[in-house]
Structure 1
Amino acid sequence: MGCDGGTIPKRHELVKGPKKVEKVDRNAELAAKWKYCALSQEKLRRPIITCELGRLYNKDAVIEYLLDKTAERPNTEVATHIRGMKDIKELNLTDNPEWDSEGRTTKGDRYEDMHCAMFICPVVGLEMSGKHRFCYLQTCGCVFSDRALKEVKTEICHKCGEQFKSEDIVVLNGTKEEVEKLRERMEEKRLKAKTKKSKKNKVAETAVKVSDLKDVAGPSGSSSSASVASSSASAASSSSSSMGVKAAVAAISKRSYQEMGEKSEVFKSLFTTHTSAKRTKDQTSNWVTHTPYHF
């Protein structure tokens, strides 16, 4: 029953105070980011890939996601920015010699460090466990600690020797502010690639139009048609290519075949604008439609 027989209740038993905010275990949070796939939540295993935002994935999980995006999978919002295989990069990681494979049986007769990382920095030997900042190079995929890149400043990869720039360095599992900066850089990069592709398509279209105009002008071509084609070709390489092509098309379309001196009379007689094709009313005959009852 309670409150009888001399029991004295305490304050926390009678008065309900505010609920305590549950704090996330720091070690568990780091292990979830650095030891498990961000998409499938399975343990990371080679080959390990990353995206432009610096998240870690198992390659097979991302391939399955790209093959069938309609399938119901948990935690798919972390991979919505991955459009294809060009948006991911396979990492060139360095194994930690102190890491034992998980295939062995645990007997309990030795100390096991649960916070030991699978990979380390090949330059300074720091473990890739989340306690230190790690980065990867978009050119070759090699992974280094941020301390190694700051202490040994160079434009050549320490591991494979490939050249890189400061823009090619991407932080792995960065903070929210760093992820937002990486997202902005990713969107800006994709926008530039899209505009560059559209410009290439426009230049290709203008080149096709210029070749068509040359075919219409004839194989030999006159000096005026050559000048128009050259002017339109030079305009196609600049930003005002469309205006130059339109002007060339208008100039050639207004020109008559009868005014082309390089064309023969036989070629000119094929068109109705030739003098031989013009007839008077007396020379032209009316069309007569015969019915079955005419005969």
Structure 2
Amino acid sequence: MYASKKPDKVDPNETRLSQWTTCSLSFEPLKAPCVVDRLGNVFNKQPLVEAMLGKKMPKGFGHIKGLKDMIKIELSEIPGVSSDADISFDTRFQCPVSGLEFNGKYKFFALRSCGHVLSAKALKEVKSSSCLVCHQEFVESDKIVINGNDEEVMELREKIESERLKLREKKEKKMRNGGLGVSEKEGVCGMKHVLDEKPEEKGLLKIEAKGKMANGVVAVRGATNDSRKRFKSGVVAPPNATKEVYASIFTSSRKSDFKETYSCRSLPLGRN
């Protein structure tokens, strides 16, 4: 009988190096533009966008819903190493502050505020609330660990769920308070209620913004013909105006027995 061939052992160092030097989706060598998701996986942006548009995203990356879940990062190349270098190089990138290589032997963080990728050693030794490269301010929650262990990835997942829950609660609260676009002092139609209205003024006619006025008669929108209130033109005369003169502007104020006929249409009304 022939002895069965044992499966080849996977070198953990090669696995680790591949995780830090190639795209997590296409397994192609990392090249600009690169992005990182909120769990710390590094991608080449183009194949990731193509997979999203073609709806071919693996289940393992189902948390990536759109461009907002991608964070553009800036990887600093090692001086003297070309971007077209062979994969035999351990890595083409390094920390721009400490010079540590981006090969999985050291912990790295991506800053959401600016996208620069720095080693944990640099951030620990040079304590600052701003990026050590571009000096842009950041907070502790802006730090995303690159290719973290299981515990670190679990913490990032809990952080994502917490942020989504807060966003959902904020939207629901907004819908409850202002979903109809109505404030506490406004009615459903957007008309403000007069809180300090005097009892004796409640019976007065309220002229709406879109009310119509014709021949000295104010028509209240929404009122029927029977319930519509009418004022004589002289009653609503402007200040400092003579009521008789103001009323003469409107034809409804004129009372005459003159009847227009075919033969007198050309005659001025003032001659009758």
| In 1: Cα distance, 2:191 partner to 2:94 partner | 68
Matched, 1:185 2:159: yes
How many residues were matched structurally?
216
Match of 1:26 among 12, 16, 35: 12
Q: Which amino acid letter does the alignment assign opposite residue 223 of structure 1? A: L
CA distance in 2: counterparts of 1:42 and 1:195, whole angstroms: 40
Could you say which residue in structure 1 is the equivalent of 2:195?
223
Moved more, 52-61 or 205-214: 205-214
Q: TM-score, normalised by structure 1?
A: 0.63
Work out the CA distance in 2 between the residues paired with 1:121 and 1:25: 25
Aligned to 1:147: 121
Residue number among 45, 55, 59 corresponding to 2:31 in the alignment: 45
Corresponding residue of 2:45: 59
Cα distance 1:133–1:91, how it changes in 2: closer, same or farther (>3 A)? same
Evaluate the alpha carbon distance shift between residue 189 and residue 217 of structure 1 in structure 2; reply closer, same or farther with a 3 A threshold.
Answer: closer
Indicate conservation of the 8 Å contact 1:38/1:78, yes or no. no
TM-superposed CA distance for 1:154, in Å, is 0.7
> Using a 3 Å threshold, how does the CA distance of structure 1 residues 85 and 266 change in structure 2: closer, same or farther?
closer
1:37 aligned partner, one-letter code: C
- The structure-2 alpha-carbon separation of the partners of 1:266 and 1:193, relative to structure 1 and needing over 3 Å to count, comes to closer
For 2:45, the aligned partner's letter is: K
Aligned mates of 2:16, 2:109 — CA distance in 1: 16
DSSP-derived class of the 2:144 partner: strand
1:197: Cα distance to partner? 2.4
The match for 1:99 is: 81
Residues 99 and 117 in structure 1, CA contact (< 8 A), matched pair in contact too: no
Provide the rounded CA distance (Å) in 2 between the counterparts of 1:164 and 1:94. Answer: 19
User: How far did 1:192 drift?
Assistant: 1.0
- Structure 1 position 260, deviation (Å): 3.3
C-alpha deviation, 1:32, in angstroms: 1.9
**Partner letter of residue 77 of structure 2?**
D
The SS at the match of 1:223 is coil
Q: CA RMSD in A?
A: 3.5
Shift in Å, 1:210: 5.5
The equivalent residue for 1:108 is none
CA contact 1:50–1:56 (8 Å) conserved in 2:
yes
User: How far apart, in 1, do the equivalents of 2:221 and 2:13 lie?
Assistant: 88
**1:43-78 CA-partner distances (Å, limit 9, x unpaired):** 211101000000000101111122121x4x6xx123
* TM-score, structure 2 normalization: 0.67
- The SS at the match of 1:173 is coil
Shift of 1:142: 0.6
User: Compared with structure 1, are the counterparts of its residues 273 and 153 closer, same or farther at alpha carbon in structure 2 (3 Å cutoff)?
Assistant: farther
SS of the residue 2:82 aligns to? coil
Partners of 2:66 and 2:222 in 1: CA distance = 58
Aligned to 2:267: none
**Matches of 1:172 and 1:225, distance apart in 2:** 64
In 2 relative to 1, CA 150–20 (structure 1 residues): closer, same or farther, beyond 3 Å?
Answer: farther
Secondary structure of the 1:57 match is strand
* Structure 1: stretches of 5+ with no match in the other structure: 1-12, 105-112, 227-258, 277-295
**Any unmatched runs of 5+ in structure 2?**
207-217, 230-272
Distance in 1, matches of 2:9 and 2:221, equals 90
- Kindly indicate whether residue 223 of structure 2 is the aligned counterpart of residue 270 of structure 1: yes
Counterpart check, 1:130 vs 2:65: no
Per the TM alignment, residue 79 of structure 1 is displaced from its structure 2 partner at its CA by 1.7
CA distance in 1, matches of 2:220, 2:173: 39
Deviating more after overlay: 56-65 vs 201-210: 201-210
Equivalent residue letter for 1:63: V
Percent identity between the two aligned chains: 34
> Higher helix proportion, which one?
1
After superposition, residues 172-251 of structure 1 pair within 5 angstroms as 172-208=146-182, 213=187, 215=189, 222-224=194-196
Indicate the residue corresponding to 1:86 in structure 2.
68
Deviations 1:21-48 (A, max 9, x none): 8643122111221111111122211101
Counterpart-to-counterpart distance in 1, 2:221 and 2:91: 84
Cα deviation digits, residues 110-154 of structure 1 (max 9, x gap): xxx935311111111000011111111111111000111111111
